[in-house]
Amino acid sequence: MVVNSILSLSNLIIGYNEPLAGPISLEVQNGEVIAILGISGIGKTTLLRTIAGLVPPIKGSCRLRVDKKGGLGYIPQNLGLVRHASVANNVGLGAGVRLEWTMFSERRKRIEEALKAVGLTEKASEPVRRLSGGQKRRVATARTLAQRPQLILADEFLSELDEGNASAVMEAVLPLVTQGSSLIMVEHNPKHVIRYASRVWWFHDETFTDLSAEEWEKFNPKGGEEA
Tell me what the mean pLDDT of segment 171-186 comes to. 91
Closest alpha carbon to 158 in 195, 199, 126? 195
51 pLDDT band, cuts 50/70/90, is very high
Are 173 and 34 in contact by the 8 Å Cβ rule? The answer is no
Comparing 165 with 49, the larger pLDDT belongs to 49
pTM: 0.87
The rounded distance, in Å, linking the Cα atoms of 91 and 108 is 10
Comparing 185 with 82, the larger pLDDT belongs to 185
Q: Where are the domains of the chain?
A: 83-149
97 pLDDT band, cuts 50/70/90, is low
Asked if residue 103 has pLDDT above 80, the reply is: no
Rounded (10°) angle between helices 133-147 and 104-117: 140
Asked if residue 123 has pLDDT above 80, the reply is: yes
The rounded distance, in Å, linking the Cα atoms of 77 and 208 is 22
Report the range of poorest mean pLDDT among 97-101, 118-122, 148-152: 97-101
Closest alpha carbon to 149 in 93, 44, 83, 74? 74
How many angstroms separate the Cα of 85 from the Cα of each of 70, 82, 169?
21, 6, 22
- The one-letter code for the residue type at 12 is L
Report the range of poorest mean pLDDT among 34-43, 77-86, 101-110: 101-110
